[in-house]
Amino acid sequence: MKILVGLGTCGIAAGAEETYRTLRERADNGGPRYELGKTGCIGMCYREPLVEVRDDDGRAWQYGGLTKDKVERLLSEHVAAGRPIAEWLVVSDVGPSPESAYLERQNRIVLRNCGRIDPESIDDYLAVEGYQALDRTLAEKDPEALINRIIESGLRGRGGAGFLTGMKWRFTRLAQGDHKYIICNADEGDPGAFMDRSVLESDPHAVLEGMAIAGFAIGASDGYIYVRAEYPKAIERLNIAIAQAVERGWLGENIAGSGFAFRVRLKEGAGAFVCGEETALIGSIEGKRGMPRVRPPFPAVKGLWGCPTNINNVETFANVPWIVRRGAAAFNSLGTANSKGTKVFAMAGKVRRGGLVEVPMGISIREIVQEVCGGIRDDRKFKAVQMGGPSGGCIPAELQDTVIDYESINKTGAIMGSGGLVVMDETTCMVDVARFFLDFTQRESCGKCTFCRVGTKRMLEILTRITEGAGRDGDIELLEQLAALVKNNSLCGLGQTAPNPVLTTLKYFRSEYEAHITNKKCPAHSCQKLLTYTITEACTGCLACGRVCPAGAITGEKKQMHHIDHAKCIQCDECYKTCRFNAIVRL
């Protein structure tokens, strides 16, 4: 029998390392016999720590919330006595399971090995057809046929822009230059996004294999993975995987006796969002300040160190080995006419099942939120999704039947982006959402463009005033004017898309802006400075609210109804959070 503990960052944060240590101690000190292993994130972040039990016949049971205090029962009942524990079960291939809907609607290509293999073992990767695609590529010795296969598959770059991957490879292959480079963009900076991190932590060899295949296609012998330093577990496992691949001859010189050489280095980014833009990323690798430059020339012609360079993101490279092994037709059989294959989304926000999902292109937003991820927490009303991160936009619930493909999402005013999908309910203030994302992009602006540097600052000031009750007539029109100027005059994608959260919330939730400005009220009861607190007749006079009020605004005798002096109230929300009788309402 084998026990696998999910040791991705999400699992570790939930206590999986303690679970793993407890299982290791029990294995070393007698008791039931089992083999202990580790794996990455299967995507069910909402049920971490996750532990899988596999018996000698290959049957598997995945348990959720398995903290260290539950280890003894797991060992005594399931491992020793062969009795699975139903109330902890998440999914199993032995009969129905409570969370099976989460996986049944998915098509796992990028995430095919995540949560299934040990990310620190090249033998585990080889056992699931690892490096077979690279071996086949080198044996065929036909880079043009390889590029044609990627073009025929319809694979588009998963970093956000959606450019055809094979065409990008072809442009770089045809560019003049004695030395060419492959870069994997793992600078995942969108708030709420963790797709790349999970893939790198759970299946690093798939990304390395995809990079090597791309290197052969364009004639590159060197590759860089630009990964943010805030991903220590991903960096650790990438270093292990690179060393293993070099030792086994899948990276380095004369790979598989083919004469082809491909070396991979890591470059740790300092966390600048703008370095997700490819020319800023190249500058950072070269040791310069990460700032975008004018294009053309594009990196395919003049990139790293002035040489032709192909840049794709983690998810794009992870698709490549599967396509090479299974064929273009297997990939383009999924999806829509112009958006083929699958897309990985990081589900965050007010959704019941938060985590990673990989769904076929063409699925609707409603299906992802309501069916795959179980709907909205606490049975609240679904209001909107923020898609594409700070460069994306908000799509309202009335458009939840919009299908997931590049063209359909763009029509809403949002973008596909790299795959962050933040779900919002009726308690979310859309004006404050716009303010949050503008605050992020304003801080992350490199400052090179006046329109981005100053324009986002002015927009943020207006949004902040509105959420604090100081909005003025004409603010909406001024926001629209500034948004157009920033969008049309910024140099790079960060500035050009920074107004999107504002423009989409104005488009779909204009009434919320008007309520903030005209009535000085937040319809979602979220902006604290616009709230009025009232104590109702449900008050029991327990004195709890008065004790926590820092302004001394609450008065009343014990066991008698209390009152709030609105002149003194500072809208700190402490009384509302403290009241156990729901006697305090926010208006």
Does the pLDDT at position 350 exceed 90? Answer: yes
Q: What is the pLDDT at residue 93?
A: 86
Domain annotation covers residue 250: yes
Is residue 491 within 8 A of residue 467, CB to CB? The reply is no
Does the pLDDT at position 40 exceed 80? Answer: yes
Band (402; pLDDT cuts 50, 70, 90) = very high
Q: The domain that contains 216 carries what CATH number? A: 3.40.50.11540
Least reliable range by pLDDT among 90-94, 240-244, 302-306, 311-315: 90-94
Does the pLDDT at position 405 exceed 90? Answer: yes
Domain annotation covers residue 449: yes
Q: What is the pLDDT at residue 275?
A: 92
Q: Do 387 and 253 have their domain in common?
A: no
Q: Do 222 and 314 have their domain in common?
A: yes
Q: What is the pLDDT at residue 576?
A: 92
- Tokens encoding 420: 């962050």
Q: The domain that contains 70 carries what CATH number? A: 3.40.30.10
The pairing of strands 420-425 and 563-564 is unpaired
pLDDT in tens, 354-391: 999 999 999 999 999 999 999 999 999 999 999 988 88
Quick check: helix, strand or coil at residue 164?
Answer: strand
pLDDT in tens, 519-557: 999 999 999 889 999 999 999 999 999 999 999 999 999
Q: Do 368 and 404 have their domain in common?
A: yes
For residues 160-177, average pLDDT = 94
Last residue of a domain, one of 465, 498, 519: 519
- Tokens encoding 430: 């859309």
pLDDT in tens, 127-158: 999 999 999 999 999 999 999 999 999 999 99
Q: What is the pLDDT at residue 144?
A: 97
Quick check: helix, strand or coil at residue 396?
Answer: strand
Does the pLDDT at position 100 exceed 90? Answer: no
Q: Do 129 and 248 have their domain in common?
A: yes
Domain annotation covers residue 109: no
CA-to-CA distance for 183 and 160, rounded, in angstroms? 16
Q: Do 287 and 216 have their domain in common?
A: yes
Q: Do 413 and 435 have their domain in common?
A: no
Band (443; pLDDT cuts 50, 70, 90) = very high
For residues 556-571, average pLDDT = 93
Does the pLDDT at position 31 exceed 80? Answer: no
Domain annotation covers residue 462: yes
CA-to-CA distance for 394 and 434, rounded, in angstroms? 9
Q: Do 8 and 137 have their domain in common?
A: no
Domain annotation covers residue 103: no
**What distances in angstroms separate CA 365 from CA 46, 99, 382, 422, 428, one per listed residue?**
20, 20, 11, 11, 18
Q: What is the pLDDT at residue 422?
A: 95
Task: Count each helix (H run) and each strand (E run) in the chain, helices first.
Answer: 24, 18
Does the pLDDT at position 335 exceed 90? Answer: yes
The secondary structure of 286-342 as a DSSP string is: TTS-------SSPTTTS-GGGS-EEEEEHHHHHHHHHHHHH-HHHHHTSB-SSSBSE
168, HSE (Cβ side, Cα atoms, 13 Å)? 24
Quick check: helix, strand or coil at residue 125?
Answer: helix
Helix axes 204-218, 165-174, angle to 10 degrees: 40
For residues 431-456, average pLDDT = 94
Band (475; pLDDT cuts 50, 70, 90) = very high
Last residue of a domain, one of 403, 425, 447: 425
Does the pLDDT at position 481 exceed 80? Answer: yes
Output 31 or 191, whichever has higher pLDDT.
191
Q: The domain that contains 466 carries what CATH number? A: 1.20.1440.230
Q: What is the pLDDT at residue 375?
A: 95
Closest residue by Cα to residue 305 from 289, 278, 285: 285
Domain annotation covers residue 107: no
Placement of tokens 């290197």 in the chain: 215
- Tokens encoding 95: 């009969």
Distance between first and last Cα of the chain: 58
Domain annotation covers residue 132: yes
Look over the chain and give the mean of its residue pLDDT values, rounded to a whole number: 94
Band (105; pLDDT cuts 50, 70, 90) = confident
Band (207; pLDDT cuts 50, 70, 90) = very high
Burial class (CB in 10 A: 0-12, 13-18, 19+), 474: exposed
**What's the whole-model pTM score?**
0.93
Does the pLDDT at position 457 exceed 80? Answer: yes
Does the pLDDT at position 160 exceed 80? Answer: no
Q: Do 502 and 545 have their domain in common?
A: no
Q: Do 143 and 207 have their domain in common?
A: yes
Residue type, 277: E
Band (567; pLDDT cuts 50, 70, 90) = very high
Q: What is the pLDDT at residue 587?
A: 85
Quick check: helix, strand or coil at residue 431?
Answer: helix
In sequence order, the 6+-apart residues with CB closer than 8 A to the CB of 324 are: 133, 134, 136, 137, 146, 149, 213
- Tokens encoding 522: 């937040």
Closest residue by Cα to residue 45 from 115, 142, 138, 120: 115
Q: Do 67 and 157 have their domain in common?
A: no
Range of the domain at 376: 342-425
Q: What is the pLDDT at residue 96?
A: 78
What secondary structure, in 3-state letters, does 454-473 show?
HHHHHHHHHHHHHHCCCCCC
Number of domains in the chain: 5
Q: What are phi and psi of 164, to 5 degrees?
A: -60, 120
pLDDT in tens, 278-296: 999 999 999 999 999 988 9
Is residue 181 within 8 A of residue 218, CB to CB? The reply is no
Placement of tokens 């910024």 in the chain: 490
Q: What is the pLDDT at residue 29?
A: 85
In sequence order, the 6+-apart residues with CB closer than 8 A to the CB of 349 are: 192, 385, 386, 422, 423, 424
Q: Do 403 and 456 have their domain in common?
A: no
- Tokens encoding 203: 């299946």
CA-to-CA distance for 292 and 494, rounded, in angstroms? 10
Q: Do 178 and 299 have their domain in common?
A: yes
Output 101 or 221, whichever has higher pLDDT.
221
Phi-psi region of 154 (alpha: psi -120 to 50; beta: other; left: phi over 0): left
